[in-house]
Amino acid sequence: SAVISQKPSRDICQRGTSLTIQCQVDSQVTMMFWYRQQPGQSLTLIATANQGSEATYESGFVIDKFPISRPNLTFSTLTVSNMSPEDSSIYLCSVELGLADSYNEQFFGPGTRLTVL
């Protein structure tokens, strides 16, 4: 398994500002993912961050709004830029680990609860 930590755990921000969320994992992983969980909705994949390459964004998400860094195999950051109240969500990172049954399980961090005023 993997132990994942995120900082901050929660924050309240003013509109127009930016917040950088950190994700740290206790083992080296190739694939890291960032999800958004809006109030009352399911988790939505924002982007995939592989070490050594540009992040791959899902439809509806762009790099200018959600820049991602992946400097090494245990760490990633997601920035929520020029925030608006619609960005109020829980942001989760996850990592993929290959397991014995050939299925690559994903493990999730505790999430960062963001409120934008």
Partner 1 sequence: AQSVTQLDSQVPVFEEAPVELRCNYSSSVSVYLFWYVQYPNQGLQLLLKYLSGSTLVKGINGFEAEFNKSQTSFHLRKPSVHISDTAEYFCAVMKASGTYKYIFGTGTRLKVLA
Residue numbers at the binding site for partner 1 (CB under 8 A): 4, 9, 31, 33, 40-45, 48, 92, 94, 96, 101, 103-111
Residue 16 CB, nearest approach to partner 1 (Å): 28
Which residue's CB is nearer to partner 1, number 81 or number 90? Answer: 90
Which residue's CB is nearer to partner 1, number 5 or number 18? Answer: 5
Structure-token pair, residue 6: 């995120």
Half-sphere CA count of 52, side-chain side, radius 13 A:
4
Distance CA 40, CA 64 (A): 26
How many angstroms separate the Cα of 18 from the Cα of each of 10, 40, 47, 56, 67? 14, 24, 18, 21, 11
Residue 76 CB, nearest approach to partner 1 (Å): 15
Residue 53 CB, nearest approach to partner 1 (Å): 15
